[in-house]
Amino acid sequence: MISRSRMRTCFCSASGQILQGYAAREFAKQGVKPGELAVISKEAVAPYERPALSKGYLFPQNAARLPGFHVCVGSGGERQLPEWYTEKGIELILSTEIVKADLSTKTLTSAAGATFTYEILLIATGSSVIKLTDFGTQGADSNNILYLREIDDADKLVAAIQAKKGGKAVVIGGGYIGLEISAALKINDFDVTMVFPEPWCMPRLFTADIAAFYEAYYTNKGVKILKGTLAVGFDANANGDVTAVKLKDGTVLEADIVVVGVGARPLTTLFKGQVAEEKGGIKTDAFFETSVPGVYAIGDVATFPLKMYNELRRVEHVDHSRKSAEQAVKAIKGKESGESVPEYDYLPYFYSRSFDLGWQFYGDNVGETILFGDSDPASSKPKFGSYWIKDGKVLGAFLEGGSPDENKAIAKVAKTQPPVASIEELKKEGLQFASKI
């Protein structure tokens, strides 16, 4: 068994690549000393911007590749190549899966039997994809039934796209992954069918009106959409390659590639019974410290106090991952210096890009909604939005096709929660309402 010397601060990460990189940047800003910080990752590459995997990485021309999207380029920061960590005195321990964590002895154990001890631990394990094999779906272990979470997954998908060029693809799921992958496969000249059980796409965020635009737009691009049903089995050939998807409604779809995007689970197993949990994640305070002093949880795994809405929430999004990582580091360094750090005051933010589209959402999607602008999917440059109104205030704002200034305006609306005198007047004003705030 290999033993490593005690490290001042250590990351435990399985798929929390963004978290590691942004936290490392904040430590560097705060003046980390050589030997004080180690980053341990299951993946074989330095931290990178995960959103690129479902977008630019899959483009048929000028595809994104490392080192182009190492963090922190996603927020306009410096590209942190492996040498950056060396220069900052940060130990980057890659291809190392942590299989046991003992918080009482401050010890981590890897799959290879190495042990690591620490003084401060940042849990940045992220989430793992939900697989159809988890449910025993017939034939779900066939070749070319693919998922997307890490760069290795993206490489497998790229290889399948190249091998099955011009073939038939079935995308299971109508959320972020489903929409972005369907667009990427269509751009790669595949015959694409999306399948999901919900009544419309992206139901956790989109209203029926918003979803209708995207479904019609995708249909116009040649993507077929089957709603209200799900995959119950797969056929494969003698080589084990998937050939068909069997749906609950009896439909059978030919398939050369199947991409599954039905959600993810926060990776908290290593810490079960050792830290307080709530709402599916590890419970933290406003500085992301857990119930165990000196142990912090950030990103997908953290259930934290969302100050704006005065409640505990767990948020799965890259923006929160970046900001929670920075907040935890500031809190750690603040404790060391005796300086107070403001509580985490996060404005929920989500975005996506596909085809020629790009939307942003800020705030909370609760209450009554209104739709404004040009939501005709046949428009050359559609621009439309929605507001969510509850108790006479605007709590959430969505905008498709907005400029940077317009997106900032709807963010300000969601942050300030302005009162609304008339729903009808708000609908007439549309984006102008945001520009006045």
Percent of the chain with pLDDT over 90: 94
320 with 289, same domain: the answer is yes
92 with 140, same domain: the answer is no
389 with 295, same domain: the answer is no
Last residue of a domain, one of 221, 245, 262: 262
323 with 378, same domain: the answer is no
pLDDT in tens, 333-389: 999 999 999 999 999 999 999 999 999 999 999 999 999 999 999 999 999 999 999
- The band of 18, judged by pLDDT with boundaries at 50, 70 and 90, is confident
Assess if residue 156 is contained within a domain. yes
Last residue of a domain, one of 262, 283, 315: 262
29 with 177, same domain: the answer is no
Assess if residue 196 is contained within a domain. yes
What is the rounded average pLDDT of the residues 146-161?
97
Please give the angle made by the CA atoms of 293, 298 and 300, to the nearest 5 degrees. 135
Nearest to 260 by CA among 133, 353, 359: 133
Assess if residue 346 is contained within a domain. no
Rg (CA), the chain: 23
Asked if 255 and 231 touch (Cβ cutoff 8 Å), the reply is no
Query: Does 8 have pLDDT greater than 70?
Result: no
324 with 178, same domain: the answer is no
- The band of 13, judged by pLDDT with boundaries at 50, 70 and 90, is low
Total domains present in the chain: 3
How far out from the chain centre does Cα 102 lie? 28
CATH number of domain containing 300: 3.50.50.60
Give me the residue label for tokens 């479904």: 215
Question: H or E segment at 412?
Answer: helix 404-416
What is the rounded average pLDDT of the residues 96-111?
95
CA dihedral 241, 262, 227, 388 (to 10 degrees): -160
Give me the residue label for tokens 């939005």: 385
Give me the residue label for tokens 């079960």: 272
Assess if residue 94 is contained within a domain. yes
Assess if residue 52 is contained within a domain. yes
119 with 225, same domain: the answer is no
pLDDT of residue 2: 35
Query: Does 11 have pLDDT greater than 70?
Result: no
Nearest to 120 by CA among 346, 288, 303, 315: 288
Q: Both tokens of residue 5? A: 């010397």
30 with 105, same domain: the answer is yes
pLDDT in tens, 282-341: 999 999 999 999 999 999 999 999 999 999 999 999 999 999 999 999 999 999 999 999
One-character DSSP codes across 130-141:
--GGGGT-BTTT
98 with 139, same domain: the answer is no
pLDDT of residue 84: 97
Distance (Å) of CA 123 to CA 108, 133, 221, 224: 11, 27, 42, 40
pLDDT of residue 159: 98
329 with 377, same domain: the answer is no
Query: Does 4 have pLDDT greater than 50?
Result: no
Nearest to 327 by CA among 307, 351, 309, 311: 307
Bridge pairing between strands 191-196 and 224-227:
parallel
CATH number of domain containing 406: 3.30.390.30
Assess if residue 1 is contained within a domain. no
Please give the angle made by the CA atoms of 297, 301 and 307, to the nearest 5 degrees. 75
Nearest to 271 by CA among 92, 122, 119: 122
Last residue of a domain, one of 307, 337, 367: 337
Structural domain including 397 reads 356-435
pLDDT of residue 351: 97
Nearest to 397 by CA among 379, 376, 377, 417: 417
20 with 121, same domain: the answer is yes
pLDDT in tens, 36-90: 999 999 999 999 999 999 999 999 999 999 999 999 999 999 999 999 999 999 9
- The band of 237, judged by pLDDT with boundaries at 50, 70 and 90, is very high
pLDDT of residue 7: 54
pLDDT of residue 35: 87
Asked if 393 and 420 touch (Cβ cutoff 8 Å), the reply is yes
Assess if residue 197 is contained within a domain. yes
Give me the residue label for tokens 């990776």: 267
Assess if residue 61 is contained within a domain. yes
240 with 302, same domain: the answer is no
Question: Per DSSP, what are the bridge partners of residue 313?
Answer: 304
